[in-house]
Amino acid sequence: MKPTEDHSMAEFPEDLKEQIHDFEKFCEIGEREMSAKWRDQTFQSLMHAWENSENEWGASYEALVLRNRFEDIMGMIERNRIWPPPASTWSHSFRGALREVLSRLPQEAFDKVEAEAMFVLEERSLKMLVANAPAPAPAPSRTIVFFRGCMSLAPNALVGLIAHEIAHTLADDKGCRADAKLAENTAREWGFGAELDCYECERERLYPNTMPLN
């Protein structure tokens, strides 16, 4: 959060205003530099940045951003944004694939997913008759449901599927009904081309009579 978000600049003395201005310029430059780097991240690289980050005011902008992304991802995973809670190898695999996608999303896309999205898994291993759970606060406005067929996908194929569905959801959020090609193009622009190709190969091999991504 930038220092000026919650306060009027008029409240600060002149020397502090100058420091705030310099910090905001630092953030803007850092944001531009980071925009092309997200596609090269992995959850492991974010964890490494988090484990090795220095004092907040001494670290580079990039180190701070990577650390914050790691903390935000862990917060999403732990705040009931995935339902049901982990109960099987499938749900743990899904969480691993989702972490990889979230690690590589552009900042604007990540912010929307963090604020608005919830993920629901068809979890057949749960021996339950009913579940009544409170919605996360704030309640998400988008829910993406992944069915048990995803269990058979290779890890990279599952990453590609999740990236595509997130792209589809964010395109719909902009006020237009996105078609599959637009969502695929967006996910490829984010750097998930290899994973989307892997998904298509897996889908054709495992489910030859199913429709392509939509």
Answer yes or no: are the C-beta atoms of 161 and 210 closer than 8 Å.
no
Q: Tell me what pLDDT residue 109 has.
A: 92
Number of other CB atoms surrounding residue 39 within 10 Å: 15
How far is Cα 171 from Cα 149, in angstroms, rounded to an integer? 25
Q: What is the average pLDDT score of the chain? A: 78
CA–centroid distance for 24 within its chain: 25
Residue 165 pLDDT greater than 50, yes or no: yes
pLDDT at 74: 92
For 18, the token pair is 């100058």
- Position 173 pLDDT exceeds 80: no
In terms of phi and psi (left: phi > 0; alpha: psi -120 to 50; beta: otherwise), the region of 80 is: left
129 or 105: which leads in pLDDT: 105
Q: What percent of the chain has pLDDT over 90?
A: 27
- DSSP symbols for 117-172: EEEEE--TT---S----PPPSSPPSEEEEE-GGGGGS-HHHHHHHHHHHHHHHHHH
Ramachandran bin of 175, using left for φ above 0, alpha for ψ from -120 to 50, beta for the remaining angles: left
Q: Considering just the CA atoms, what is the radius of gyration of the chain in Å?
A: 20
Average pLDDT over residues 131-153: 74
Q: Which of 87, 79, 149 is nearest to 118 (CA)?
A: 79
pLDDT the model gives residue 6: 46
pLDDT of residue 77: 84
Q: Is the pLDDT at 203 greater than 50, yes or no?
A: yes
Give residue limits of the domains in the chain. Answer: 13-206
**What pLDDT is stored for residue 205 in this prediction?**
86
**Spatial CB neighbours of 36, under 8 Å, sequence gap ≥ 6:** none
The partner residues of 153 in beta bridges, in order of sequence, read none
Rounded-to-10 torsion of CA 46, 52, 55, 56: -10
pLDDT confidence tier of residue 186, bands split at 50, 70 and 90: very high
Under the banding of pLDDT at 50, 70 and 90, the label for residue 200 is: very high
